[in-house]
Amino acid sequence: MPETTLLAVSGIRREFGGVVVVDDVTFTVSGGEAVAVVGPNGSGKTTLLRCVVGADRADAGHVSFAGRRMSETDPWVRASVAAALDDLEFFPDLSVAEHLSLLAYAHGTPDVDAVDAVIVDLGLDGVRDQLPPTLSSGQRRRLALASCFVRPRRLLVLDEPEQRLDTDGRRWLVDKLLAEKAAGTAVLFASHDDEIVSRVADVRVDLER
C-alpha cells in the first residue's frame, strides 16, 4: 500500500513565447509508488519534469515535496530528490568511479562497495577509469543514472531512463525501479517504452494533445 503523498504537483503550466507546452497538469506521487509521464515527442514531458525538480520555473501552479514547497536550492530537497534529466553534468576531469564516489561522499554515504555495485550493474565497469568526455552518449546516460543510485533518495525523477540502454539494460532498469518502489522510494519518470511503463508505473499521466 502506498505511503502518504510525497510529491504533489498542482496546476503546472509552462509556456514559451505564447506557445503552451505544459497546460494545467496535476498529479501526486506517494512513497513506494511510480508515476509515468507519457506522451509523444513535443508533448512537454521533459519540461514538466524540469518544472517539478525546479530546473525550470513554471508560469503557474505549485509543486510541494513532503509538505514543503519544492525549492531547487533547498539542501533538504537536494538531499532527498535524485534527478537524471537532460542537463546532468559531470566533472570532466574526474573518472567515472571518482565522480560517483564524490557524489556518495557529498551526500554522506561513502559506501565503496555500493558505488562499485552500481558501476557494475549499469555496465560501466569497463570505463570506470575513463574521463567523461571520452564516454559514448549511451555511457554518459548510464553515468547519469548511476549518479542517482549512489546517494540517498526519497524521490527519483528520471527523464526517459531507457534511452541508449540495450535489452539487458532495460531489463535491469525495470528490476531496479521495482526495487526502488519496494524500498519506499517515490518514482516519477517520463518514458516512451510501453513495456517499462506497464511493468513499473502505478499511475500514468498522459500529456498527449
From residue 25 to residue 54, the character string flagging contacts with another protein as x (rule: CB under 8 A) and all else as - is ----------------------------x-
Comparison of 82 and 207: residue with beta carbon closer to another protein: 82
Distance of alpha carbon 127 from alpha carbon 151, whole angstroms: 20
Q: Does 106 bind another protein (CB under 8 A)?
A: yes
- Pair 158, 152: CB distance under 8 Å: no
Q: Which part of the chain contacts another protein (CB under 8 A), choosing from 1-9, 14-22, 102-110, 178-186?
A: 102-110
Residue 95 touching another protein (CB under 8 A): yes
Q: Judged by CB under 8 A, which stretch of 24-32, 85-93, 176-184, 196-204 contacts another protein?
A: 85-93
Compute the distance between CA of residue 184 and CA of residue 45 in angstroms, rounded to an integer: 24
Q: Which of 16, 11, 163 is nearest to 85 (CA)?
A: 163
Residue 50 CB neighbour total at 10 angstroms:
23
Q: Please choose, from the candidates 86, 105, 84, 85, the residue with its C-alpha nearest in 3D space to the C-alpha of residue 94.
A: 105
Question: Measured from the CB atom, is 99 or 176 closer to another protein?
Answer: 99
Count interface residues toward another protein (CB under 8 A).
Answer: 39
Work out which of 11, 40, 42, 92 binds another protein, going by CB under 8 A: 92
Closest to another protein by CB, 38 or 82: 82
Q: How far is the CB of 44 from another protein (least distance, A)?
A: 19
Within 141-160, the residues that bind another protein by CB under 8 A are 147, 151
139 near another protein, rule: CB under 8 A: no
Going along 4-119, which residue ranges are E strands? 5-16, 19-30, 34-38, 60-65, 68-69, 81-84
Rounded to whole angstroms, the Cα distance separating 15 from 43 reads 12
Return the C-alpha cell found at 1.
500500500
Task: Assess contact for 34 and 177: CB atoms under 8 A.
Answer: yes
Contact 121, 172 (CB under 8 A): yes
According to CB under 8 A, which residues from 149 to 208 bind another protein?
A: 151
Binding another protein by CB under 8 A: which of 2, 10, 114, 128? 128
**Interface residues toward another protein, by CB under 8 A:** 53, 55, 72-73, 75, 78-79, 81, 83, 85, 87-95, 97-98, 101-103, 105-108, 110, 112, 128-134, 147, 151
